[in-house]
Every structure is written in C-alpha cells, then in structure tokens.
Structure 1
Amino acid sequence: MEDRSLFSDPAQSSWPSFPAPRPRLDALAQALERITELEHTARAGEHQHTEMKRRLDRIERQLGVLLADRLEERSDLPGARHGEHQTLARRFRTLIEQDFVTFARRFADRCDHVLDWPAAERSARLIGILSERLFARSLPSKQHLVRQLRLADHAGHAEAAIADLYNRCTDLAARIHEAGLHHSWDFTATIGDHVDPARQDAWPRCDSRAPISFVMAPAYLVDGHIYSPQIVYTRP
C-alpha cells in the first residue's frame, strides 16, 4: 500500500511552523519613522533657537536705546554712552555663558591644548583659551585662530563653529568701539588667591571659597569701572 503520509494536509503536519518576519519589519519601519520625526523636531528646535537669539539681540538693542534716552535725561549719571556699555556688557556675558559654553562642550575633547587636564575641567579650560584669543588687544585672523586652537576636524564642523564665534566677537568689538569711551579687558588674577567679590565671579560649578585656578573670561572695564566681572575657575 502506498504511504501517503508525506502528502497529508499541511495543517495536520507534525513539521514545526515558524512565525512570519512581518512584526520585525514593522518595528524597523516604526523606528525609522521615529528617527525621521526626531530629525524634523531637532531642525525645528534649531530654527526656533536661531529666531530667539535674533529676537533677543533686537530686544537688547531696543533696551539699550531706551536706557540711553533715560540716562541722557539725568544729570547725576555719566551719560548715555555708559548705558550702551551696560547693554554690551550683558551681551558679552551671554556670549561667554551660552555661545562659548556650547562650543567648548562640543569640541573640548578634540582640543590638544586641554587633553592633559581632567575631563571635568576641559570645557572651562577651552573657554579660557577662547577668551585669551578673542578678547586680546590684537585679534588674530580667523584662519590663524583655527590653527592656534588645533582641533581635530575631519568634516569642517569645528572650523565653521570657530568662524561663527569669531564673527560674534568681532561684531561685539565693533559695537563697543561705536559706543565710545575707553574700554579694556582685564585678565589680571593671582592664581591661588581667593575670589574677590568686588571684581570676580566664580564659575557656577565652582566653589567661590576655593582658590583661583585660572581665568575663564576677562572683566569688561569702561573708564576703569567694572561693567562685567572677571569669571574665574576655582579648584580645591
């Protein structure tokens, strides 16, 4: 008699069945869709950040004009130009605390100048180096600054970021020059001394009671008066 077991109904076969790969493909498609959504969200966030900075710059300029008008009306104050410098001092502080910090966090681990320091203070060290270069009496060229910083850069991202910082600093310098009066950047600090509250601020992550390790950003002086205190890094 012919054995027909090999030709029996597949539904009744004893061969094991395997799940279709469809769920795995669906999960992959969902993951790719989620990645695309996140990319769109990131681009939208970057655009919003740019627009907010533009609005902030415009508000600062308007505030400077209003403050200058009010100061001009008062006889007990040195004049409108000091009001302009107060606005510029706030802009300088924002440049350090936002733009310099963003750059340093992104590129500190690529900078030869700071790699020998503990990882926790590399960003602060790079901010200090940027300040020394960009607020020096003689500003280097953009190309020379790129060479000075010695950042590992394979796709040009670091060079573009340096150029952006450079342009912001030169724009600030031009506005300070237009405001008139004598201004200067004060990097003077005694390493190992304690913070002088009258002329220095400790970096927020640092203990203000600990001795000064290095200067992160200079004081902004106008006619010998401090409009923005020096920022120092302290370490026990």
Structure 2
Amino acid sequence: MFSDPAHSWPSSRTPRPRQDALTQALQRIDDLEHTARAGEQQHTEMKRRLDRLERQLSVLLASRLEQRSDLPGARHGDHQTLARRFRTLIEQDFVTFARRFADRCDRVLDRPTPERSARLIGILSERLFARNLPSKQQLVRHLRLADHAGHAEAAIADLYERCTDLAARIDRAGLHHTWDFASTIGEHADPARHDVWPRCDSRAPISFVMAPAYLVDGHIYSPQIVYTRL
C-alpha cells in the first residue's frame, strides 16, 4: 500500500532556520571578539609608538633649544613636554568630565546649555591651577555637583591626582613657571596669546578664560584657551 505524499511526515533532514541563525550569530560573535582583541593589540602598540615618538621629540627639541642663545638650555625641552601634557589634560580629561557632569553642576546651570561644559572647564582650571590648591573635599564642595552614587566625587579625585602629578613634574623640571589667567573680558582674542575654543567665533570678544596660559621664564609654552560667543 502506497502512502499519500500529501500526508507524509517532514524529513528529519529538513533545514532548521532558527538553528542556522543561532550558528551564524555565534560565529559572528567569535569574529567580533577576534576583531576586538586585534584592535586592542593594535591600540597598545600604537600607544607604545606614540610614547616613544614623544620621548624622541623631547630629546630633539631639547637639542635644538640648547643651540639657542635666548633660552637657558635643555630644561625648556622638559617644559615643552609638560605643556603638551597640560593641553592633553584640558582637551581630553577636563572635557570628558565636563560633558559628563555639567548638567548636574549648580554653578553652571544658569548658563545656556551649549556653554555649560566650557564654563565648568573654566571653573576647574581656576581651582586646580590656582596658586593655593584646594583640597579634594574643598573642590567637591565648591562645584556643588548632584552626586548620589559617588561617581562625580571619584571623577574629581582622578582629575585632582592628574593635576597634582603634573604640578610635581613641573616643579622637578625647574625654572620659573606661572599660570596666567589674566585677560580682559570683552576684548578680542590675540592669536599670539590666546587659542579660541573650537566652535566659538574667533572674531567675537572673549567671554571667559577656560584654561590659563603656561609661561616659563616669561615665554608662552601654551596659550590661554578662551571662550567667545558661538
């Protein structure tokens, strides 16, 4: 007796789309993990190369400075390196902190939203590069940040440690250095003394100073960073 094909049972070899999709997804995850590991290795290697290039650049710059009669020697090369560290601190660490916490800081909530992060960077600079450095606890109280889980306090402590480490390196480098906050609000930026914050109008008058100039024996190693109208 022949069976009716219309009522035959499905073959056990019929493809199972869900199982195939799961297999593909697992393979995709393995591929992504492999790519991530490779990317991490490349990032680590690139950082090592950048650190090596920075050291080489410092040596080259120090050698060039030794040949100049108007500068006192290789120690200025150390300050060039420290000036780059200072700018990285402002443009990366301070910016990251400000973007994360500006909308929780009572001291900047009266400012227009696009300006709050920049103003918080200015407040941090005023405190962390002051002649008399406040304690971490004083800085936390001064910023008046809404912080229910302690994240802001931990981030402030991290910035504080980075700034005190930079200050110690600058002291060890020797020579007389100053942080110059002096600017006339309402005047236009001077390209020889100021860097205007990105997205601001370089033709507009200065609204406030975001970061001080870094001076060594009267020479500008890092200009002031100023905020103007957007």
Runs in 1 of length 4+ with deviation above 6 angstroms?
44-55
Query: Which amino acid letter does the alignment assign opposite residue 89 of structure 1?
Result: A
Aligned match of 1:227 in 212, 221, 224? 221
Where does residue 199 of structure 1 map in the other structure? Answer: 193
3-state SS of 2:210 partner: strand
Cα deviation digits, residues 201-226 of structure 1 (max 9, x gap): 11011001001111100111111111
Distance 1:192 1:53, change over 3 A: farther
Aligned match of 1:132 in 113, 116, 126? 126
Where does residue 168 of structure 1 map in the other structure? Answer: 162
Establish whether residue 101 from structure 1 lines up as the match of residue 95 from structure 2. yes
Q: Which has the larger radius of gyration?
A: 1
Query: Which amino acid letter does the alignment assign opposite residue 161 of structure 1?
Result: A
Query: Which amino acid letter does the alignment assign opposite residue 76 of structure 1?
Result: S
Where does residue 57 of structure 2 map in the other structure? Answer: 63
Aligned match of 1:122 in 116, 124, 127? 116
Question: Separation in 2 of the partners of 1:196 and 1:99?
Answer: 26
Question: Separation in 2 of the partners of 1:98 and 1:51?
Answer: 21
Question: Separation in 1 of the partners of 2:94 and 2:70?
Answer: 33
Where does residue 213 of structure 1 map in the other structure? Answer: 207
Question: Separation in 1 of the partners of 2:97 and 2:49?
Answer: 21
Where does residue 7 of structure 2 map in the other structure? Answer: none
3-state SS of 1:185 partner: strand
Aligned match of 1:149 in 135, 139, 143? 143
Deviation at 1:57, TM superposition (A): 5.3
Deviation at 1:54, TM superposition (A): 7.5
Query: Which amino acid letter does the alignment assign opposite residue 235 of structure 1?
Result: R
Question: Separation in 1 of the partners of 2:39 and 2:137?
Answer: 30
- Identity among equivalent pairs (%): 82
Query: Which amino acid letter does the alignment assign opposite residue 142 of structure 1?
Result: K
3-state SS of 1:209 partner: coil
Deviation at 1:142, TM superposition (A): 1.4
Aligned match of 1:76 in 55, 65, 69? 69
3-state SS of 1:151 partner: coil
3-state SS of 1:117 partner: coil
Question: Separation in 1 of the partners of 2:53 and 2:136?
Answer: 29
Deviation at 1:69, TM superposition (A): 3.9
3-state SS of 1:220 partner: strand
Structure 2: stretches of 5+ with no match in the other structure: 1-17
